[in-house]
Chains A and B, each alone.
Chain A
Amino acid sequence: MRLRTLTYSYPDQSGHFGPYGGIYMAETLIPAVEELRREYLRYRDDPEFKAEFAYELKHYVGRPSPIYHAKRLSEHLGGAQIYLKREDLNHTGAHKVNNAIGQALLAKRMGKKRVIAETGAGMHGVATATVAARFGMECIVYMGADDIQRQAPNVFRMKLLGATVVPVESGSKTLKDACNEAIRDWVTNVETTFYIFGTAAGPHPYPMMVRDFQCVIGNEAKVQMPELIGRQPDAVIACVGGGSNAIGLFHPYIEETSVAIIGVEAGGHGVATGKHAAPLTGDAKVGVLHGNKVYLMQDENGQIIETHSISAGLDYPGVGPEHCLLKDMGRAQYVAANDDEALAAFDALCRYEGIIPALESSHALAHAMKIAPGMAKDKVLLVNLSGRGDKDMNTVARIKGITL
């Protein structure tokens, strides 16, 4: 018998997920996020908007993305069956494009011809550059100078697609600093510019809007799993940086309380060392950054501390507000996978399944590989393979001591 007792409806009208979320922005941008909220709510259920979004996802992105049974890997582990939601097969190679298309369609309706974005691993930057080319918009991507080093192929891709990539030299020179710089651009060019934010965080309506666009992942999975195995999986697992691929998979399953929800953060050198990017697992205090109140890695004086992760896409001190709420509710469990565990999972998927995963997604896979051996063979874990690993060749080669 399946119990369905949970009803869930967040955010509230003011953009809060319980105590989290909100619109913590400088005054200049408040009217801009208010306009965005109004316009998004106007088009969210508009049949024409929905039809255009669905068309682009099908014909441009190549959706639905398949679910693949990783049989050899599952056999090797000797326990639960691992299934992969293949977001890596999307056009541009990751889940990021789902959201970028949704926001670009909204930008088009709002008459904005200039789009900006922040990027960490470069996947959101590539997705934004791609849709900007597709819809004929000017595109500026802010990227931390350190991330430009470790994700050089994606920088070149963005430039090929006609985007201007601006290196950010301030702070830790990673994703959070790219966010700061994108926000500064938005403050300055607010009337002409649409900020295509890459994750389910930031000021309202972004956490809600990005989630809605990414929910295509979980909505598809809920149809695909019964077709494949006659039922829903026992657990859905996804990596969490800001948490957009995760919330896209998780959200449609929140009220399905028979399905366990597991988010995997970047454990870096190990949560106990302090050198990680796991605010939910690492007992970070609640704080305010980039427009929302969330669990946030900070020192005792409220200064944001530098994070550590092998994957640029997870290297962020905060996390989306909905994940914070799901943690507090106990509806989702959050754990961490360390750099070396993610690398081992990366290798395993290459060797056992012929799939090169992104280092971000390798974190989700690492946790599945950790728990699968202790589970019965008829249990099923659905892992979101949020992106492909082509962009990580330089990073992995360097770790293995290989010069390309």
Chain B
Amino acid sequence: MNRIQATLDNLKAQGRKALIPFITAGDPALDKTVPLMHGLVEAGADIIELGVPFSDPMADGPTIQRASERALKNGMSLRGVLEMVAEFRKTDAATPVVLMGYGNPIEAMGWETFASRCAEVGVDGALTVDFPPEESHEAFEHLQRHDIAPIFLLAPTTDEARIERVAKLARGYVYYVSLKGVTGAGNLDLAAIADKMPQLRKHIRLPIGVGFGIRDGETARKIADIADAVVIGSRIVQEIEHSAPEAVVANVKHFVAGVRAALDK
């Protein structure tokens, strides 16, 4: 069984909510990513979303844009990201890893190579921001063959027919974008998210994660009351950006542990 499903099933049995932090691979330095991943797990992360940097991150706000730029400047590539996951897997066989990014680096590698490499190194899911279901036929076929879960985004603007369509294709979990905007924006509307949930649940049997705009334990706690998983990205990347290199792992762990504690309250 795919690690994502096992993890989420297990959490559900315990009555707990999943915490899914995001970091960009290669930020702030190539040798910090694997220690950061282990640190996230130690601080209570259930699934790691590992960002594959792209030169033109159109759906991201300034914080993750800067993380991508730093990572690319450090020489990060999709190939390198896969090697990092292999490294991480040497000492962590249990925590699911989802790669998140834009389609072109995968197109350049080829979907079959990508999916088979993912299976080899222990990647569990792939979220391609700019590949909606309409354009994902080829991708889906290769990911399926290697049991890599295709993770799809849903948005406040998604209508019911599309929710139904995504429900049929998605594996692992579904990622609900909690606001109209780019990553890291600050105008989260909890009531609107709660209103949307019944419509999502009507079609989606998979766990639903909510992300974009979640910045602290208190908000995460409120999201956890209505969703199955909480995704936090820009706020963690900010922690990375503002930390001295030697303190970065400790600072990120401290922040994520705080969110974990709030979630488990």
A and B: interacting chains? yes
> Given A187-B180, A304-B104, are A26 and B58 neighbors across the interface (CB < 8 Å)?
yes
Using A26-B58, A176-B56, A302-B106 as known contacts, say yes or no to A187 and B77 having CB atoms under 8 A apart.
no
CB nearest neighbor in B for A305: B55
Closest to B159 in A: A31
- Count chain A CB atoms within 10 A of each CB in B55, B134, B182 and give the residue with the most: B55
Kindly specify which of B117-125, B150-158, B230-238 makes contact with the partner chain. B150-158
Encode B241-260 as 1/0 by CB contact (under 8 A) with A.
00000000000000000000
Closest to B60 in A: A184
Q: Tell me the dominant secondary structure on chain A's binding face.
A: mixed
The docked-state distance in angstroms from the alpha carbon of A398 to that of B140 is 52
**Beta-carbon contact of B182 and A298 below 8 Å:** no
Distance in Å from the Cβ of B115 to the closest Cβ of chain A? 15
User: Is A188 an interface position by the 8 A CB rule?
Assistant: yes
A39 to B158 Cα, complex, angstroms:
18
Residue A133 CB within 8 A of the other chain: no
The reply to whether A14 and B155 form a contact with Cβ atoms under 8 Å apart is no
CA distance A31 to B152 in the complex (A): 15
Cα separation A375 to B65 with both chains bound (whole Å): 51
Residue A25 interfacial (CB < 8 Å): yes
- CA–CA, A28 to B102, complex, Å? 15
Contact digits for B125-167, partner A, Cβ 8 Å, 1 yes 0 no: 0000111101100000000000000001111111100100000
Asked if B217 is at the interface of the complex by the 8 Å CB criterion, the answer is no
A3 and B185 CA atoms in complex are apart in Å by 58
**Contacts of B67-106 to chain A: CB distance below 8 A:** 69, 72, 77-79, 102-106
**A1-35 interface mask toward B, CB cutoff 8 Å, 1 = contact, 0 = none?**
00000000000001000000011111111111000
B44 on the A face (CB < 8 A): no
- Contact present for B108 and A30 (CB under 8 Å): no
> Is B107 on the interface with A (CB-CB < 8 A)?
yes
Contact B180 A288 (CB under 8 A): no
Chain B interface (Cβ within 8 Å of chain A)? Answer: 54-61, 65, 69, 72, 77-79, 102-109, 129-132, 134-135, 152-159, 162, 177, 180-182, 185
Interface residues of A (CB under 8 A from B): 14, 22-32, 170-171, 176-177, 179-180, 183-184, 187-191, 285-291, 293, 296, 298, 300-305
Could you pull out 11 A-B pairs where Cβ atoms are within 8 angstroms?
A: A26-B59, A27-B158, A28-B157, A31-B155, A180-B56, A184-B60, A184-B61, A184-B182, A190-B157, A190-B180, A302-B78
Task: Give 17 new A-B contacts, CB below 8 A, not counting A27-B177, A28-B156.
Answer: A27-B153, A27-B155, A27-B157, A28-B155, A171-B69, A187-B180, A188-B182, A191-B157, A288-B102, A290-B56, A293-B135, A296-B104, A298-B104, A301-B79, A302-B106, A302-B108, A304-B55
